[in-house]
Amino acid sequence: MDMLEARAIGVDRERMDGKLKVMGTAPYAFEQSVDRPAYLHPVQSTIARGRIHSIDTSAAGRLEGVIAVITHWNAPRLASDGNRELWVLQSNEVHFRGQFIAAVVAETLEVARCAAELVRAEYETAAHDVGFSAGRDDLYAPEAVNAGYPTDTDQGDAEAAFNGAEVRLDATYSTPMEHNQPMEPHTTIALWESDKLTLYDSTQSVHSVRTVVAKTLGLRPEQVHVVSPYVGGGFGSKGETHAHNILAALAALRAPGRAVKLALTRQQMFTLAGHRTPTIQRFRLGATRDGHLNAIIHEVVEQTSRFQEFAEQTAVPTRLMYAAPNRRTRHRLAALDVPKPSWMRAPGETPGMFAGEVAMDELAVACGLDPIELRVRNEPEHDPESGSPWGSRHLVECLREGARRFGWSRRDPRPGRRSEDGWLTGIGVASATYPRYVLMGSRASIRFDEGRYEVRIGAADLGTGTWTALTQIAADALECSPEAIHLEIGDTDLPNATVAGGSSGISSWGWAIVAAAQEFRRRHGSRPPAGAEASADTPEGADDETFAQHSFGAQFAEVRVNAATGEVRLARMLGVFSAGRIINPRLARSQLIGGMTMGLSMALHEESVMDERLGHIVNHDFAGYHIATNADVVNLDAVWLEEIDDRSTPMGSRGIGEIGIVGAAAAIANAVYHATGKRIRALPITPDKLLT
Ligand code: MOS
């Protein structure tokens, strides 16, 4: 084989699915071709807590074209209530405003929607509580936080060390509730054929949807077939099975022989697909006068739903970022009558590093130190929590490389000094980090036929580039041209694959493909006969944590703030990342810039506003919930250190889906401080906060 062709990893290749998407022929879930589709529209509760007293479906049922109206009175029974979010139409209880209380299946979407509006429910309303605050007397400590991390950690005596420190920073930061808003909403088509269920779904994991749906409905996994070749974004909300998946399956049971289509409306996306918890974070840093940290205390309050717990790991990055002999982290939850919070791009790191990296900027000011120098002085030699050696820690190189490229040395440390035509300008920096995760349980198979290799694994492409990256990894491992690889993903008929979550997808699936390629070559050599096959799992121990394995980065932002109106414009932004080997530079840049864009959106725009009287998100559409648009995304660039991290994966890569958002909002907040001298500790940084 051609040696040049064999270098498939690291090559700038066009997205293989790009042409199909541009031509509109890549089938997303709702567009899958099915015979005689029927349409599902849900009815949602109009109270935030209580019981349904009565529900009148007669007018809806009389409408021409209605196939079925389903309520908790007549819905098929579910088998498992292990996940209360999925206990759909099984009781009269209402846990949050907007919960499914009924659904209509009809011949057209319009009839389904019209009929849904004719369903009348009467409630026994109970007093609801959606008041999120750190002052509540019922905050509690969860058993563990997301991804299994301990809720609390203590090293040394952080309180005493803080109280005795020469320089002390004690500040409270807050981040609002936010909602994942991929362009493609959550969609499912459900079709029963005898006792087998097919779901065309928009998901980050076909196999976990299969497992969860089967368990909830009391089926064997083999009875559930999930298909999801193309996904229009997810950012974590499509990493879990949500109530609409179960609703579609139940509704399809009441419409025999019909494929029942459900797409959440944009407004429903603010209730039924998870959200990022709001946080209130008290940060205390104690340091010597020359900026050596002696105490780090990070105490987080966040929300969960009362009916099902989700605890975000907000303080977890604080456990590893900087050296300090005394350290304390805490997570406390307020259990409220809200939908269950869930994953949103870099859960934990994103809100936690906003607080931590603004706190470091404040400490730099207090010590009279350059913020990069402060970080360099507190660089830990090994993981401060476990004592493990770093697998690869290049934070300082990222900061220095970014400083060089961004022109940091020209920065006047004094805030609020530069103004042009009424716009104050400033630059800021923040660190980023994200763990290297490899999940166990993926399997890849390879078959050689007609001069090409069929590579099969049930992986997901959220729009991230999985189709292309896995093809490159397979070509590299089999030492052939990418054109000789025929990849199949996104279907439970393929070998098992773990979730596209925690930036673990390419690491976990890629490793299975490399293992299968090695097995294939071992069995069949480099001139395989037609029909030659091999398969392998992501190997045992791939999730080994002997080394503390994390990616790092440095975010730089320049902002302009209008002195009269408080309007903030991002002038330019640069991210420098250390994320192991980059599989495809074009896709990587897109992913990293996408993360930074989401971070700038978090910094300046995104906020779900709760009306506490109703338990209702009042700005539940794109008119009221602002997301960064092209006009905001000016002069954004992402670069990376050249690195091959063989400790992390056999590809040398570590995953890049999430680190791009981490630290982005802090860099912008720090730039706003540098521009104006005003320290904004509550996101988003809206003009009103700068004018008061
Ligand atoms: Mo990502 S929020 O771990 O799907």
| Distance from residue 347's CA to the centre of ligand 1 (Å) | 7
Element (H, E) at 303: strand 293-305
Which residue among 302, 312, 607, 658 is the active-site one? 658
Mutate which of 343, 350, 659 for ligand 1 pocket (most atoms within 8 A of beta carbon): 343
Domain covering 32-127+183-233+239-270 in this structure, CATH number: 3.30.365.10
> Are 119 and 56 within 8 A, CB to CB?
yes
Cα pseudo-dihedral 563, 569, 573, 579, rounded to 10 = 120
- Interval 614-673: pLDDT, tens: 999 999 999 999 999 999 999 999 999 999 999 999 999 999 999 999 999 999 999 999
pTM for this prediction: 0.97
The identity of residue 353, as a single letter, is M
Q: Which atom of ligand 1 is nearest to the CA of 500?
A: 4
| 678 vs 557: CA distance, rounded Å | 16
| 154 vs 40: CA distance, rounded Å | 51
Instruction: Give the whole-number percent of the chain exceeding pLDDT 90.
Output: 98
State whether the beta carbon of 344 lies less than 6 angstroms from ligand 1: yes
Mutate which of 462, 658, 661 for ligand 1 pocket (most atoms within 8 A of beta carbon): 658
| 491 vs 206: CA distance, rounded Å | 6
The CATH-assigned architecture of domain 18-27+439-537 is 2-Layer Sandwich (3.30)
Indicate which residue's Cα is closest to atom 4 of ligand 1: 236
Domain 144-178+275-436+546-691 = CATH 3.90.1300.10: no
Give the pair of three-digit tokens for residue 461: 């492409």
| Residue 389 pLDDT level (bands cut at 50, 70, 90) | very high
| 516 vs 478: CA distance, rounded Å | 9
**Start-to-end C-alpha separation, the chain:** 67
| Distance from residue 5's CA to the centre of ligand 1 (Å) | 33
- Interval 283-320: pLDDT, tens: 999 999 999 999 999 999 999 999 999 999 999 999 99
| Residue 7 pLDDT level (bands cut at 50, 70, 90) | confident
Is 612 among the residues known to form the active site? no
Query: What local confidence, expressed as pLDDT, does residue 321 receive?
Result: 98
Cα pseudo-dihedral 106, 111, 113, 116, rounded to 10 = -70
Residue 482 has pLDDT above 50, yes or no: yes
- 32-127+183-233+239-270 matches 144-178+275-436+546-691 in fold: yes
State whether the beta carbon of 10 lies less than 6 angstroms from ligand 1: no
- Interval 520-536: pLDDT, tens: 999 999 999 999 999 99
In this prediction, residues 394-420 reach a mean pLDDT of 97
Query: Strand (E) positions, 506-623?
Result: 533-537, 550-562, 568-578, 610-611, 616-617
Domains of the chain by residue range? 18-27+439-537, 32-127+183-233+239-270, 144-178+275-436+546-691
| 537 vs 358: CA distance, rounded Å | 42
- Beta strand 37-44 with 259-263 is parallel
